[in-house]
Amino acid sequence: MKTVFLLARHSFKELVRKKDFYVLLFLLIGLIIFFYNKTFFGTADASRYLKDIGYSLVMICSIILCVTFTAKQIPSELESKTIYPLLAKPVSRDQLVWGKFLGGLFMSAASFTIFFIVYLIFINLKGEGVKGILMFQAYIFSLCLFTLLSAVTVFFSMFLTLSANITLTLLLFFYFSWYNESLRSLLLDETLKMRLFYNLLFYALPHFEFFDMKTRLAHSWDPIPLWIFVSVIAYTLIYSTLLVISSSALFRRKNL
């Protein structure tokens, strides 16, 4: 485990030393301040649009950082051949895969935390604010989202090129964010012949829509019920673990 965390911490350093995070942070702050200061027809304290747009911006920035950073982890090690001195140390391929996955996750979590703090400061200064429990649930669910995204991206990096990996991961994410209703409707169709197949597909695909707290946060709805909160966290842990284990198995067979 120590080796895995060492590898993860090492990936984290890369985030700190690259400009990408800072560019997105300043862009985010600039945009949130811009929208924060806007008044509409003499009304200064309409705040739901700020919560909505702000949350979307925070998530877009974090997701792009997460996917692009994690997708590069193993391919860049292979391309730059830094993987050889690493594997010539007491580091197994499994540890490498887990280390890269956790590195992507820690990096995403850290950058999201900072973005989220900026967001919370501004939305609590304007209008109706946000309930504490909702903020907490949104934060945890976002971490779950990045866990799943990192796992999916690491898995795809075992057999896809960098650009194909990023594209497919983002496409999957946006599909489930916008069109999950269509897949659900399909399953609830009682005339459906291939019900078993669609059910299996439903289980196999990653459900990014579970983590979308934008509407609850922006419109001050009730928090998620506890059993669902716990179930989603459990789903994340199980699904991500299975994906990373599969990634390790694929990586063990990979010709370096």
Partner 1 sequence: MRFAAILILLICIPLLSAHVDSFNHSYLLKKGLTSEHSDVLYKAFGEFRGFLSDMSFLNADIYFHGGVYHLEEGETPHLIVEQAHATADMREEDHNGHMHDDDHEDAGYRHSKNTMNILLKISSGIDITRHIHLSGKRKKEILPWIYYAIRLNPKNVQAYSIGGFWLAVKMKKHKEGIELLEEGIENNPRAWQLYLTMGHIYISRLKDYEKAYDHLTKAKRFMGSGNADRFDRRSVLTFHAEACIHLKKYREAIDSWERILKDFPGSSQLRGRIARVRSLM
Partner 2 sequence: MERIFCIENLTVVYDRKGVSGDKAVEDISLFLNKGEIFGFLGPNGAGKTTTIKALLGIITPTKGSVSIFNRKVSPQTMHVVGYMPEVANYYWFLTPREILDFYGNIFDIDKNILDKRVDELLNMVELDRASDKLLKTFSKGMLQKVSFAQALINDPEVLILDEPTTGLDPISKMNMRDTLLKLKERGKTIFFSSHELSEVEIICDRVANIKNGKILKETRPKNILDEKGNQISLEKHFFELVRDK
Residues forming contacts to partner 1 in the complex (CB under 8 A) are 18-20, 23-24, 27, 31, 34, 38, 40-43, 45-49, 52-53, 57, 60-61, 64-65, 68, 128, 180-181, 184, 187-188, 199, 202-203, 207, 209-210, 212, 215-216, 218-219, 221, 224-225, 227-228, 231-232, 235
> Which residue's CB is nearer to partner 1, number 6 or number 16?
16
Q: Give min distance, CB of 152 to partner 2, in A.
A: 25
Is there binding between residue 37 and partner 2 (CB under 8 A)?
no
Rounded distance between C-alpha atoms, residue 69 and residue 169, angstroms? 12
- Taking the complex as a whole, the smallest distance from the CB of residue 255 to partner 1 amounts, in Å, to 30
Q: Which is nearer to partner 2, 11 or 240 (CB)?
A: 11
End-to-end CA distance of the chain: 24
Angle between helices 2-17 and 20-37 in degrees, nearest 10: 60
Binding partner selected for residue 31 from partner 2, partner 1, none, CB under the kind-specific 5 to 8 Å limit: partner 1
84 near partner 2, judged by CB under 8 A: yes
Q: How far is the CB of 82 from partner 1 (least distance, A)?
A: 21
Side-chain-side CA neighbours of residue 22 (13 Å): 5
Task: Look at residue 37 and give the partner it binds from partner 2, partner 1, none, a contact being a CB closer than 5 to 8 Å depending on partner kind.
Answer: none
Shortest approach of partner 2 to residue 247 CB, angstroms? 18
* CB-count exposure of residue 205 (10 Å: 0-12, 13-18, 19+): middle
- Binding-site partner at residue 89 among partner 1, partner 2, none, CB < 5 to 8 Å by type: partner 2
43: helix, strand or coil: strand
SS (H, E, C) 123-142: HHHCCCCCCHHHHHHHHHHH
Q: Which of partner 2, partner 1, none binds 251 (CB below 5-8 Å, type-dependent)? A: none
Which residues are registered as beta bridge partners of 5? none
CB 84, min distance to partner 2, A: 5
Q: Are 176 and 207 in contact, with CB atoms under 8 Å apart?
A: yes
Pair of tokens at residue 160:
């896809």
Contact partner, 65, from partner 2, partner 1, none, Cβ < 5-8 Å per class? partner 1
Helix ranges (H only) for the chain are 2-17, 20-37, 48-80, 83-87, 93-125, 132-156, 162-188, 195-204, 214-218, 226-252
Binding site for partner 2 (CB under 8 A): 2-3, 6, 10, 13-14, 17-18, 80-82, 84-85, 87-92, 95, 255-256
